[in-house]
Amino acid sequence: MKKWHVIITVIAALCVIAIIYIIRLNSIPAITYFPIDKNRSFSNAETTIQLFSEKGNDNYEINWRAGSRTENSVYLRQDVSLLYDNGRLRGALTKWVQDTDTIQLKEKLHHEDSSLFQSISFHHGEVHYPDSQIKSIHQLSSDYLYVIDSPTTSLESFKTPENNYEKEWKDLLERTTKQQLIYQWNKLFHHFQIDSNHYLTVPLTDLAKYQEEPLPSLTMEQTEKIMGQLWEGLYKNYVIPVVNTENEELNSYIPIVLFDKDQKHLLVLYELNGKKNKLIQNYSFTDQ
């Protein structure tokens, strides 16, 4: 009898462990693409980067915000935002909330030296219907900011240059950032033996333009599906590892997204903390 008590106790303990594991697994935030819900939409979705204050002669503070609102409360809302400084990753913000219509993300960052800040955000909603049908909505937003921190002039920031001085700084920051990124991307092309001539290459931070226009030779509906599935993969393979890494240890640059010119697949190439990665997404438009 005692033997059976031990066996039952062990089985019960294993069941409890299994249940806890399943609950924890299901509670891990994730972005999941479902067919687009054409009856729901975002009333607002935006990303902003602003100079907040000067903290002394050698450093300053910026406000980085992202957020969105849906027309009605939905089952699950989730937003994610990435920030880059002269092409280098500075951090990621992400938040998910059930049964809400609003998400707000914000952070203040200390920095020094002149910089081109760029941020890209993905706003996501998961809609559940009574007949167990699940659909999703999403939207992209982005922002950028040029900050001039020169020892010979006062601290200033702008988005569009208004004089020759700002235009020169804009050209300098863009040129140095582009040179650094091209160097990093070429290493990835070489490592994975990829001929970039077969692809439309788009920096991750430039993806928001496909919120308003389709990818070449594709419809807007196809483009929406590609973007939703792209961010599902990015969140799992790029954002989560970034969020779980201390900011002081982050070492990554803007990923490069490669859209196959034959409209069959896309690739995402990036390096995170010394490890080179390649994501592959094959296109499938049968379930739109």
The residue-averaged pLDDT of 74-102 equals 96
First to last CA, the chain: 59
Residue 245 pLDDT? 85
Q: Which two tokens stand for residue 208?
A: 């928001």
Residue 26 pLDDT? 40
Residue 11 pLDDT? 54
Q: Is residue 288 part of a domain?
A: no
The residue-averaged pLDDT of 149-176 equals 93
Q: Is residue 36 part of a domain?
A: no
pLDDT band at 83 (very low <50, low <70, confident <90, very high): very high
The residue-averaged pLDDT of 212-228 equals 95
Residue 33's Cα: distance from chain center in Å? 15
Are residue 113 and residue 4 in the same domain, yes or no?
no
Are residue 177 and residue 199 in the same domain, yes or no?
yes
Are residue 15 and residue 78 in the same domain, yes or no?
no
Are residue 137 and residue 60 in the same domain, yes or no?
yes
Are residue 190 and residue 274 in the same domain, yes or no?
yes
Are residue 155 and residue 50 in the same domain, yes or no?
yes
pLDDT band at 219 (very low <50, low <70, confident <90, very high): very high
- For residue 127, pLDDT over 60 is answered with yes
Q: Is residue 35 part of a domain?
A: no
Task: Check: pTM over 0.85? Answer yes or no.
Answer: yes
Average pLDDT, the chain: 89
Query: CA-based angle 177:182:186, to the nearest 5?
Result: 155
Residue 122 pLDDT? 98
pLDDT band at 6 (very low <50, low <70, confident <90, very high): very low
Q: Is residue 117 part of a domain?
A: yes
Residue 76 pLDDT? 95
Pairing of strands 156-158, 199-203: unpaired
* Residue range 9-61, pLDDT digits in tens: 545 444 443 443 333 334 457 899 999 999 999 999 999 999 987 765 668 99
Q: Which residue has the higher pLDDT, 2 or 180?
A: 180
Number of domains in the chain: 3
- For residue 262, pLDDT over 80 is answered with yes
Residue 165 pLDDT? 94
Q: Is residue 273 part of a domain?
A: yes
Q: Is residue 166 part of a domain?
A: no
Are residue 114 and residue 192 in the same domain, yes or no?
no
Q: Which residue has the higher pLDDT, 4 or 110?
A: 110
Residue 287 pLDDT? 54
- For residue 221, pLDDT over 80 is answered with yes
- For residue 3, pLDDT over 80 is answered with no
Are residue 139 and residue 194 in the same domain, yes or no?
no
Domain interval for residue 47:
42-160
Residue 4 pLDDT? 54
Alpha-helical segments (H) within the chain: 2-27, 164-192, 220-234, 240-243
pLDDT band at 129 (very low <50, low <70, confident <90, very high): very high
Residue 62's domain is classified under what CATH number? Answer: 2.60.40
Instruction: Say what percent of the chain tops pLDDT 70.
Output: 86
Are residue 149 and residue 46 in the same domain, yes or no?
yes
Residue 132 pLDDT? 87
232-250 burial string, b = 16+ CB within 10 Å, else e?
Answer: bbbbeebbbbbeebeeeeb
Is the CB of residue 194 less than 8 Å from the CB of residue 269?
yes
The C-alpha R_g of the chain, in whole angstroms, comes to 22
> Of the candidates 160, 183, 206, which is a domain's last residue?
160
Are residue 267 and residue 178 in the same domain, yes or no?
yes
Q: Is residue 201 part of a domain?
A: yes
Q: Is residue 205 part of a domain?
A: yes
> Of the candidates 92, 125, 160, which is a domain's last residue?
160
- For residue 84, pLDDT over 80 is answered with yes
The count of residues in the chain is 288
Are residue 84 and residue 52 in the same domain, yes or no?
yes
Residue 131 pLDDT? 87
Residues in Cβ contact with 192 at an 8 Å cutoff, skipping those fewer than 6 apart: 269, 276, 278
Specify the amino acid at residue 80: V
Residue 13 pLDDT? 46
Are residue 14 and residue 108 in the same domain, yes or no?
no
Is the CB of residue 89 less than 8 Å from the CB of residue 124?
no
